[in-house]
Amino acid sequence: MTKNEKSLLLFLETQAVDHGGALDGRHMNADDFAIAVRWRDEGFLRRFERIPAALLGAYHPRTHIVVLSPEAFVLAHSERLARAALDACRGG
């Protein structure tokens, strides 16, 4: 997994955990969207889709819904552990 993919995975995992899967698409670029769609098509994400505007009202920053697969949660957890260990080595 590339550095960008790891960062995206952690972003998506945070949205899944902290926001019930609703995410703000303004925090993603075209490459992120392409990766997320690929992951969805491969089954790595159980769900990744735009929330219909009719369900959002006049303005709502959370534009997409994401549901991670169990494999994606395991990899996200592993990446968080690795980042925590790196931070600890740096004295953080």
* Range 51-58 contact pairs with CB under 8 angstroms and sequence separation of 24 or more: 51/22
Tens digits of per-residue pLDDT, 22-75? 999 999 999 999 999 999 999 999 999 998 877 776 667 788 999 999 999 999
What residues are paired with 11 via a beta bridge?
none
- Residue 84, domain extent: 3-89
The pLDDT value given to residue 15:
96
Task: Name the pTM for this structure.
Answer: 0.86
Tens digits of per-residue pLDDT, 1-30? 999 999 999 999 999 999 999 999 999 999
* CB 66 within 8 Å of CB 45: yes
**Lowest model confidence (mean pLDDT) among 31-35, 51-55, 78-82, 88-92:** 88-92
The pLDDT value given to residue 52:
85
* CB-count exposure of residue 58 (10 Å: 0-12, 13-18, 19+): exposed
The pLDDT value given to residue 62:
84
**Residue 46 burial (CB count, 10 A):** 15
Find the CATH number of the domain harbouring 49.
1.10.10
- Report the number of distinct structural domains present in the chain: 1
